[in-house]
Amino acid sequence: MSERLASARAATAHQREWFADLRAGRSDGGHFAFVNADAPHEILRTMGIPYVVNQWWASILTAKGRTQDCLALLRERGYPDYIEQYSAIALAALFDPDPGSAPWGGLPRPSIVIGETSGDASRKIFDVWSEQPDITFYPMESAAANDVPVRWWELMPRRWEEAVGTDRLDLMVGELRGLIRFLELTTGRPFRETRFREVMALANEQQEWNRRSRDLIARARPCPLAVTDSIPSVMVPQWHRGTTWARDAARAFHDEVAERVSAGASVCADERARLMWIGRGLWFDLDFYRRFQDSHGAVFVWSMYLAIAADGYLRYGDDPLRALAARFAAFSDQLYTPPWSAEWYVKEARQHGVDGVVHLVSDDPRGSYFTTRALEAAGIPVLELHADNVDSRETDEASITRTVAEWLDHVVLPGD
């Protein structure tokens, strides 16, 4: 078994240090934003406003076993504990009588929260944040298209106007201008376009490194690293997108992957099945991803975190604000809306030569039929696992392990 990646260890250490600095810096009452993953972080980066990403913090809470405590706090306040748990559990920071007991010393209290008005519950969750007198919610529109070209990943880096559509981009540019003005007035910090251009360039460089890393891993046999390593190596820098540290971290990750590939390193000595994990990370059971290596030689070679970094973020163009609009005007469509999502997963499955797909289907409206159907139509076996990625109440660990093992025995590796 291979050693944990140095880049993963470095990313996690950096995040801890950064978070501690953030907590220390909050004592002077400066502005701090709490934002959804699909908010335009680059604006905050440009203006030097520190921010924490809702979904990252949820993954930390869950990995530290705090989800049920958080959900109980929501329930006590009369809010549902069964809807969009991934986006909602961080709210518990508002109601926790002992906030310092939360992981990493607890989430500092934000002054600004930013999220899209997507879904039915997302904006409500941010509404609850903004019921606190010292927290302001800046909601952003989330538009949808009647008709889209299918192969978005070929268009997005430079021909994003074709992929996203002019009306949606016009709207999102308006939203970004509104956000900039709001932040200028609220924080007193200027938005400098020269700095913004640097941030956009760094973000693109970072994703180019991620693209190279994805391509290396797709070609490598055997798989040189565990997805549980690639997730922090990609996602911690993703949340620091637009900094030199993040760009360099993505390059360090790439170089480490390249070294491993050259050395013929493998995460599983006897690799017999290459698996793809579709869906959010199973944060309450990260050991799941390596559980089938010894028993079946089955290795998870793919998660969306590196792949979407490789394909989903690159946006070039002379007008950086419109390019940023193109990054976020249709971001979740890339992952969750057919035909984009379904066709992209098939493209990725083929590129990585996977033998099977484990598809996490949560009890939410994102739907799964068209993704599963497209993969099966491409001749790739799919196992749908019905579970929530942060809330383990409805999930029996032994049962999902057995289900996957049986599927590997009977479908993916029947002759073994």
Mutual orientation of helices 340-352 and 193-219 as an angle, nearest 10°? 50
Q: Which region among 61-69, 255-263, 332-340, 345-353 touches other proteins (by CB under 8 A)?
A: 332-340
Report the C-alpha gap between 140 and 175 in whole angstroms: 6
34-93 residues near other proteins, rule: CB under 8 A: 77-80, 82-84
Provide, rounded to whole angstroms, the least separation between the CB of residue 362 and other proteins: 7
Q: What are phi and psi of 138, to 5 degrees?
A: -105, 100
Query: Considering beta carbons, is residue 9 or 123 the nearer one to other proteins?
Result: 123
Provide, rounded to whole angstroms, the least separation between the CB of residue 121 and other proteins: 4
Q: Which region among 145-153, 190-198, 257-265, 315-323 touches other proteins (by CB under 8 A)?
A: 145-153
Give whole-number Cα distances, 164 to 134, 157, 307, 323, in Å.
36, 12, 20, 11
**DSSP bridge partners of 290:** none
Q: Choose, by CB under 8 A, the member of 108, 119, 242, 320 that binds other proteins.
A: 119
Provide, rounded to whole angstroms, the least separation between the CB of residue 387 and other proteins: 12
Report the C-alpha gap between 367 and 38 in whole angstroms: 19
User: What's the distance, Cα to Cα, between the start and end of the chain in Å?
Assistant: 22
Q: Choose, by CB under 8 A, the member of 99, 139, 317, 353 that binds other proteins.
A: 139
Query: Considering beta carbons, is residue 319 or 363 the nearer one to other proteins?
Result: 363
Report the C-alpha gap between 253 and 220 in whole angstroms: 15
Give whole-number Cα distances, 230 to 75, 206, 233, 267, in Å.
35, 15, 5, 12
Q: Choose, by CB under 8 A, the member of 14, 124, 290, 350 that binds other proteins.
A: 124
Closest Cα partner for 389 from 12, 52, 36, 61? 61
> Using the rule CB under 8 A, is 135 a contact of other proteins?
no
CB 354 within 8 A of CB 275: yes
Provide, rounded to whole angstroms, the least separation between the CB of residue 409 and other proteins: 27
3-state SS class at 383: strand
Radius of gyration of the CA atoms of the chain, in A: 21
Report the C-alpha gap between 2 and 126 in whole angstroms: 42
Provide, rounded to whole angstroms, the least separation between the CB of residue 31 and other proteins: 22
CB 90 within 8 A of CB 58: yes
Residue with tokens 């609850």: 128
Q: Choose, by CB under 8 A, the member of 21, 363, 409, 416 that binds other proteins.
A: 363
> Using the rule CB under 8 A, is 294 a contact of other proteins?
no
> Using the rule CB under 8 A, is 378 a contact of other proteins?
no
Omega of the bond prior to 222 within 30 degrees of 0, cis?
yes
3-state SS class at 34: strand
Query: Considering beta carbons, is residue 137 or 253 the nearer one to other proteins?
Result: 137
Q: Which region among 12-20, 169-177, 228-236, 254-262 touches other proteins (by CB under 8 A)?
A: 169-177
> Using the rule CB under 8 A, is 123 a contact of other proteins?
yes
Query: Considering beta carbons, is residue 3 or 369 the nearer one to other proteins?
Result: 369
Query: Considering beta carbons, is residue 29 or 178 the nearer one to other proteins?
Result: 178
> Using the rule CB under 8 A, is 171 a contact of other proteins?
yes
Query: Considering beta carbons, is residue 46 or 142 the nearer one to other proteins?
Result: 142
Provide, rounded to whole angstroms, the least separation between the CB of residue 338 and other proteins: 4
Provide, rounded to whole angstroms, the least separation between the CB of residue 337 and other proteins: 6
Instruction: List residues binding other proteins (CB under 8 A).
Output: 77-80, 82-84, 117, 119-121, 123-125, 127-128, 131, 139, 141-147, 167-168, 170-171, 174-175, 178, 337-339, 342, 361-370, 373-374
